[in-house]
Every structure is written in C-alpha cells, then in structure tokens.
Amino acid sequence: MDWQDLTLIWTGICAFAVFMYVLMDGFDLGLGILFPFAPTDRDRDIMMNSVAPIWDFNETWLILGGAGLFAAFPVAYVVLLPAFYLPLLVMLVALIFRGVAFEFRFKAGASRHLWDTSFNLGSLVATFSQGVVLGAFIQGIAVEGRQYAGGMFDWLSLFSILCGVALVAGYGLLGATWLIWRSEGALQDWARAMSKRFLVAVLLFVLVVSAWTPLVNADIRARWFEWPNIALLSPVPIVTALVAYGLWRAVETGREVRPFALGMVLFLLSYLGLAISLWPNIIPPDVTIWDAASPPESQMFLLVGMVFLIPVVLVYTVYSYWVFRGKVSAEGFYH
Amino acid sequence: MDLDPLMLSRIQFAFTISFHILFPAFTIGLACWIVALEALWLRGGAIYRSLSEFWTKIFAISFGMGVVSGIVMTYQFGTNWSVFADATGFVLGPLIQYEVVTAFFLEAAFLGILLFGRDRVPKGIHFTAAFLVALGTVISAFWILSANSWMHTPAGAELGEDGRFRVSDWWEVVFNPSFPYRFSHMVTAAFLTTGFVVAGISAWFLLKYRHVEHARIGLGMSLGLITVLAPLQIVLGDLHGLNTLEHQPTKVAAMEGHWEGGAGAPLILFALPDMEAETNHWEVGIPELSSLILTHSLTGEVPGLLDVPAEERPYVPLIFWTFRIMVGLGLLMLVIAVTHVVLRLRGRLYEATWFHRLLVVTTPIGFVAIIAGWITTEVGRQPWIVYGLLPTADGVTPSLTGAAALVSLVTFLVVYALIFTAGTYYIVRLLQLGPKPPSHYLEPQAAQVAGRPMRPMSKTVESFEPGD
C-alpha cells in the first residue's frame, strides 16, 4: 500500500472519529442544553440518567479525534490547536463542568441545583465553542511553515458566532430526538415539541450557513456553483430537505426511534456537505491532507492496530448501549 | 509586566499534569482492588459486594475527575507546545492514539456497566466489566509512560533536517531504555497509593468503631499489599536510579546534590544547593555512601553538576529536595510494612490504636511521593523537552501571547480549585456514610436464616461497638 492510499485511509478514520464524536456527544450535550427547560425536576433526573452510563464513552471520541490528528496529521494538530487557543480553552473548561456534574449531582444534597446549572451551562458553552471552532475553521487559517501564523482572536467573526449558535440548535435537536426514544408520557410529549422547534431552528441555520459559507470562502463557492459540480452535487441539498421532512413527519406520527435516526442522518448530510466543500484540504484554505500527513512508517504502525481495534471498540459500544436499552426512569440505573 | 508565554506554559503544564496524575495514580490501584473484591463476591460473601460498591462510588468520582482533567492534557500538547508537537508528532502521536483505542474506550465502555449495570447483566459479565476497567487503567499507564520515557531516553527515531523526528524502529521507541523502569516504578507507586488510602480509611473506621467488619478486611488486605510492594518499590527505585545514571547523569548529580563528581562521593542527607555559587550550604553527608549506592563500590566515580555547562543544568534545589521527600516517604512505607508484620504476628493488628492513628495520618503519602517523584524526574530533564535533542525553550507555540497564556493558566487554577474542592467534599461525604451493611445484599430468605449479618469474629467486634 503506498503512502497516498494510507493517507486516504487515515483521512477516513479521522473523519469517522470526529463524526462519531459529533453524533454521540452531540445528543448528550443536547440534553444538557434542553435541561433547564424540562417540565419537572423528575424529568431532569430521567434526562441525566439516560446518558449517565454512556457519556464518558461518548466523550472519548473527542480524545480520539484530537489524538488521531496528532498521530496521522500532525501538521493539522500543530496549526489548529494554537489557532483556536481561546475557544478550545473555553470548551475544555465547559466540558469539565459538564462532566463532573454527572458524578457530583447525584451525590449532592442542597447544592444539587448548582450541578444542574453546571451541567446545563457546561453543555451549552462546550457546544457553542465547538461551533465557533468549526466556523473559524471554514473561514481559513493563516499558516507559515508548519506553524499557525495568525493572532489569538482570528477565530472571532460573525460567521463563527453564527456557527456556534447553529451547533447549539443541532445538538439540541439530537438531544430532543434521543429523549423521544428513551422517555415516555409527558416528558416524551415535551421532547416531541422541542424536537419540532429545534428542527425548524436547525433548518434555518443550515440554510444561512450554507448560503454564507460560499461568501466567506471563494474555493467553496467554486466547488459548489461551477458547472458540472452544481448538477452533480444538487442531490445533497435535495436529500437534506427530504430527510428534514421525514423527521418532521416521524415526530408528528408518534414514531419513537425514527426521529433520532433521521436527526443523525441530517447531521451526516451536513457533514458530507462540509467534506465536499473542504476536500482535499485539512486546513483551509490550502493545506491538503497530503501536506499534513505523517510519514508511512507512522501511519502503518498505527493502522495495524486500528484495523483490529476500531471494530472491537464498535462491538462493545453496541453491547454497552444494548445493556442500557429501553425507557429510562427517574431512579435510573442507580439502585 | 512582561509576560513570558514559555514560563507561563511551563507552569500551566506542571500544574495541570500534577493535578491530573493524582487521579490515575489512585484509580489504577483502586480498579484492581475492586476486581479483587468482586472476585471474592463471586465466591460468596455479601461483605465483599458491600465493600466493592462502597469503593466503586469513590472510584467513579475520581475517575470522572481523571477523565475531564486528562482531556486537557491531550489538547495542551498542541495549544501550548506546538513546536514540540510538530517535532515529535510522528513518534508520540501514534503512542497517544494507541492509548485512546486500547485503554480509554475500554475503560469508558465498561465503566458504565461496572457502575450502573449490576442488575442488568449476569454476575460474570459484571465481574468481567470490572476486570476490563482495571486492565484499561494499566494499559493506559503503559502507553503514556512509554511516551513520557521516550522524552527522557529518545531511542528508535532520528531528528531529520526539517526538525521532525522520524521513527526507524518502533520496538525501540515503545520499549525505550528508561521505559521498563519508569513503568514498573509508577504502577507500583499507584498500587501503594491506593493501599495507603484504603488502609487509612479502614483504620479511621476502626478508630471510630464503625463498619468494623469492612474495616478489618480493608486493613488486612491493604497492609498485606503494602508489605509486599513497599520493599519491592525500593528495589525498583534503585534500578530506575541506576538507569537514570546511565542515560541522564546530570539529573542524578542534581538528585544527589553533587557539584563535583568523582570517586568516593558522600551521600548528602541535608544541604541547601546554591545554583549561582555552584555549591551546597549546610551540607551534612555520609562519606562514600553515594558512590556505594550508585556504583556498588566505595571508590566508584559519580557524575557532578560541574561536568556540564551552567546552562545545561536543571534547577538543583527543587530536584534535590523532592527526591528526598520521595525517598523519605518510601522508607516510611517500609517502616509501616515491617510494623504491620510485627503486629500481625503478635495478633494485635486490629487492636493497636496508635498504629491505626499513624495509618490515618499516612493516608495521602502515596500521592505526595508520586508528585515529588515526578517533579524530580521532569525537572531533572530540563533544560530539555526531548532529552539532549530538543530544548524546552524551543518547544513552545510561537503564536502564543503572554496574555493568552496567563488567561488560560489562571482559568485552570480557578476551575481545578473549584472542582477539586467539590470532588474532595463528595468523597469525604461518601467516606462518612460508609459502606452499606452486608445484610443489605442478602436474599430476603438468606437474610432471615443468617439472622444478623455474618460476624465471624463477633466477640472482638462487639467489644468495639459499645452501643451495639
């Protein structure tokens, strides 16, 4: 296998890891975003219980994404992390407050509301900073040699803020549809109402971001709107519209699993759209995956392990989710 | 004020890694202790399940804090040390990635089943989950210590023209010369840390006449472990020191406080090393003993700090003193191990309240020894980030401003102080609540037959519980 192919395989692995993170931590961050609006305290217990056994696992994909970049595309790791120094700091701190809330909340007495707030704000702020990072990434990064060459606030723009808000809506949708699946009764009805609101918000943001992206990045404009690409790529927005309609219908007709599944498909399509926009760059506007990739001896050493380990990881993911299947009660899995 | 991003980044890294290491140091041993208790529960004995669930709750809090503070570490290589990350990415990136896929996922997936799954999976699976979590903690230590050791003894890779290390032999990278010593020394330290926490808490329960049956099991098992590991750790530490002497002689000179090397060097017990005057004040030493320890000969040659130019020396006072703290605590551990054997042989282990008080005081000594040891070895690596090849000063992110580095440092200080306070508070509350009585876990019928909870040594126990 030559280095070109290896680099493609590693692009696939890293893209998969990031996407898994977005999906899996997406819905439990989403629950955190919805948290303060839940009808009762009991409902909040249920929401938290529904992800308590798996949140840690979901967050591990974030470490895989970070470590994967470091291993397979060190140039991207080296450039992107300093470029997003401040938003990443905010994200890490928010994830700390979100994460410890899972452990502390159920042990807390009077200070329980403190950890409710910690869980909610942690989720909200972590999501928002991830969106900001995404937006800043799409805008492009100043690179010199193999190092970041911009300032500490290059990430800050109206576009990146918009992306931050958009991701809050997106994770909120995932959280609400997850809750439809895992709850019942009044809470499920509430989750349905929330799903619809967040779906509308998501569609609005997808529209705005999709319209705005070609404006902030000329290469992306060329990618989508020049002939024959415009014809070849037109199915992406069309399928997105169909999936969104399907999701709305699924919520209306009382489906339990389908809204969550379609929510994930919606994310997949947006992710695909982003990939099409950026390909083959790993740091827009002009560092390609080949510029950033590790040499073959490093890629091979890791690949040998990944070929066995990633499927194993997926098998016990499925097992772990299966163990905690079904509707969740306020007592949850604690006894 | 002139803010130096390099110094601020170094302080931030030192602070966040010191904070983080407390949790893995504790959870590695605790996970294995939980496996042992679960194994005993599989063979029957509700008391073991009760103990296991008690310690699992404490494990969950510590593990949670370990996870969230660990994510910070993964990102910090890039945010603050991007030149270092650029130079070492081909080598260290894959090692860290292997840690994620072989250890982190394993721990995270089965932790859920360990914590919440007892009633949802068969007993055997629950035990397996406990085992896999423990295995994950040890695998994680394997990879991260391999990566760290490589920074001390960089083997199997060459620094290229473009300033990046390229791997020529992965086996040599992973099993670099200092790795076996560092790994065994650290894992043993982690077990000892947990041993002293379990011993201290059990002794505290005994002193308070609470959960006496649990406390006796905890005390007996943890002191048994300490008795084996405390002497072993001294041997491992000695071997690790000899390995350091071979690869990082300047570090050993700093640990020993030797400015002039040479034959027949004294073992310095007390001194105030002075970096500017290049000498020690108030030195108290035992003649020739250092040569004997390091070279196993009274006239053996040992390295001196003056062998290298001043700018290649690490900050000696810190290394000198943290090394003495670590060794002192190691010797205290040995004394406790020996005392335990004497008391046990005399049959007074569970009655000697002075010993229990001592154990309560020594509850945190493992943590202190680990932090002191890490300061010794990491400060001892300076001024290099990759020993002998890449200076620490060259590793910092070029785009990082002093103001941004200050903001992140202060943020981490404040946030970690808050989280640590809360975490400690909840752990102390759990300890105060104590384990549930074993009868809680018996089948209703069995509980009736047993009447009151099993009490194999009820005589002594009752004398401990005046209100019983």
- What is the separation, in whole angstroms, between the first and last Cα of chain A? 52
Mean pLDDT on A71-93: 92
Look at residue B28 and tell me whether its pLDDT is greater than 60: yes
| pLDDT tens per residue across span B152-205 | 999 999 998 899 999 999 999 999 999 999 999 999 999 999 999 999 999 999
| pLDDT tens per residue across span A157-178 | 999 999 999 999 999 999 999 9
Comparing CA positions, the residue from B462, B435, B15, B7 lying closest to residue B198 is: B435
- Under 8 Å CB pairs connecting chains A and B tally to 232
What residues are paired with B263 via a beta bridge?
B301
| pLDDT tens per residue across span A146-160 | 899 888 899 999 999
Q: How far is B384 from chain A (nearest CA, A)?
A: 20
Nearest by CB to B79, from A88, A100, A317: name it.
Answer: A88
Q: How far is B375 from chain A (nearest CA, A)?
A: 25
Nearest by CB to B399, from A68, A148, A301: name it.
Answer: A148
**Predicted pLDDT at A83:** 93
Confidence of residue B442 (pLDDT cuts 50, 70, 90): low
Contact A298 B94 (CB under 8 A): yes
pTM of the model: 0.89
Contact B400, B179 (CB under 8 A): no
Q: For the beta carbon of residue B295, count every other beta carbon within 10 angstroms.
A: 16
Q: What is the DSSP letter of B53?
A: H
Length of chain B: 468
Q: For the beta carbon of residue B430, count every other beta carbon within 10 angstroms.
A: 17
Nearest by CB to B109, from A57, A62, A93: name it.
Answer: A57
Q: What are phi and psi of A159, to 5 degrees?
A: -65, -45
Percentage of residues of chain A with pLDDT beyond 70: 98
Nearest by CB to B430, from A88, A107, A305: name it.
Answer: A107
The mean pLDDT value of chain B amounts to 88
Strands B384-386 and B390-391, sheet pairing: antiparallel
Q: How far is A241 from chain B (nearest CA, A)?
A: 35
Q: In chain B, what residues touch A64 (CB-CB under 8 Å)?
A: 97, 100-101, 104-105
Q: In chain A, what residues touch B70 (CB-CB under 8 Å)?
A: 63
Nearest by CB to B419, from A96, A301, A335: name it.
Answer: A96
Map out the domains of chain A as residue ranges.
3-176+187-323
Look at residue B109 and tell me whether its pLDDT is greater than 90: no
Q: In chain A, what residues touch B119 (CB-CB under 8 Å)?
A: 335
Contact B271, B282 (CB under 8 A): yes
Look at residue B5 and tell me whether its pLDDT is greater than 70: yes
Assign 3-state DSSP to chain A and report helix, strand, coil percentages, each to 5: 80, 5, 20
ipTM summary value? 0.88
**Predicted pLDDT at B1:** 54
Look at residue B293 and tell me whether its pLDDT is greater than 50: yes
Q: In chain A, what residues touch B400 (CB-CB under 8 Å)?
A: 82, 85, 152
**Token pair 């470091």 is at which residue?**
A70
d(CA B106, CA B124): 17
| pLDDT tens per residue across span A55-75 | 888 888 888 888 888 999 999
Mean pLDDT on B59-74: 87
Contact B45, B442 (CB under 8 A): no
Region of residue A192 (phi > 0: left; psi between -120 and 50: alpha; otherwise: beta):
alpha
Highest mean pLDDT out of A110-114, B7-11, B441-445: B7-11
Comparing CA positions, the residue from B31, B183, B125 lying closest to residue A322 is: B125
Confidence of residue A54 (pLDDT cuts 50, 70, 90): confident
**Predicted pLDDT at B269:** 87
Contact A70 B72 (CB under 8 A): no
Q: Output the DSSP codes for A257-300.
A: SHHHHHHHHHHHHHHHHHHHHHTTEEETTTEEHHHHPPPHHHHH
Look at residue B454 and tell me whether its pLDDT is greater than 50: no
| pLDDT tens per residue across span A233-261 | 888 888 989 999 999 999 999 888 999 99
Q: For the beta carbon of residue B332, count every other beta carbon within 10 angstroms.
A: 15
Q: In chain B, what residues touch A74 (CB-CB under 8 Å)?
A: 85-86, 89-90, 93
Contact A89 B65 (CB under 8 A): no
**Predicted pLDDT at B119:** 84
Distance of CA A179 to the CA centre of its chain: 17
**Predicted pLDDT at B453:** 39
The better pLDDT of the pair A193, B299 is held by A193
Percentage of residues of chain B with pLDDT beyond 90: 58
Look at residue B148 and tell me whether its pLDDT is greater than 90: yes
A80 touches chain B (CB under 8 A): yes
Mean pLDDT on B305-312: 90
Q: In chain A, what residues touch B72 (CB-CB under 8 Å)?
A: 92, 96
Mean pLDDT on A297-301: 89
Asked, as a colleague might, if the bond just before A280 is cis with ω within 30 of 0, I would say yes
Mean pLDDT on A74-102: 92
Q: Which residue of A has its CA nearest to B111?
A: A53
Q: Which of A301-315, B230-244, B310-324 has the lowest mean pLDDT?
A: A301-315
Confidence of residue A211 (pLDDT cuts 50, 70, 90): confident
Look at residue A333 and tell me whether its pLDDT is greater than 80: no
- The token pair at B273 is 């090393």
Q: Of A282, A323, A334, which to mutate for an interface test with B (greatest number of B Cβ within 10 Å)?
A: A323
Contact B120 A324 (CB under 8 A): yes
Q: In chain A, what residues touch B112 (CB-CB under 8 Å)?
A: 52-54, 56-57, 320, 323-324
Q: Which residue of A has its CA nearest to B116?
A: A333
- The token pair at B226 is 């300490």
- What is the separation, in whole angstroms, between the first and last Cα of chain B? 66
Q: How far is A189 from chain B (nearest CA, A)?
A: 27
**Predicted pLDDT at B184:** 96
A305 touches chain B (CB under 8 A): yes
Q: Output the DSSP codes for A18-61.
A: HHHHHHHHHHHHHHHHHGGGSSSHHHHHHHHHHHTTTHHHHHHH
d(CA B381, CA B395): 14
Confidence of residue A124 (pLDDT cuts 50, 70, 90): very high
Q: In chain A, what residues touch B52 (CB-CB under 8 Å)?
A: none
Comparing CA positions, the residue from A102, A66, A105, A96 lying closest to residue A84 is: A66
Q: In chain B, what residues touch A45 (CB-CB under 8 Å)?
A: none
Mean pLDDT on B67-80: 87
Mean pLDDT on B93-112: 90
Q: How far is B161 from chain A (nearest CA, A)?
A: 14
The mean pLDDT value of chain A amounts to 89
Q: Of B58, B97, B143, which to mutate for an interface test with A (greatest number of A Cβ within 10 Å)?
A: B97
Contact B78 A56 (CB under 8 A): no
Confidence of residue B443 (pLDDT cuts 50, 70, 90): low
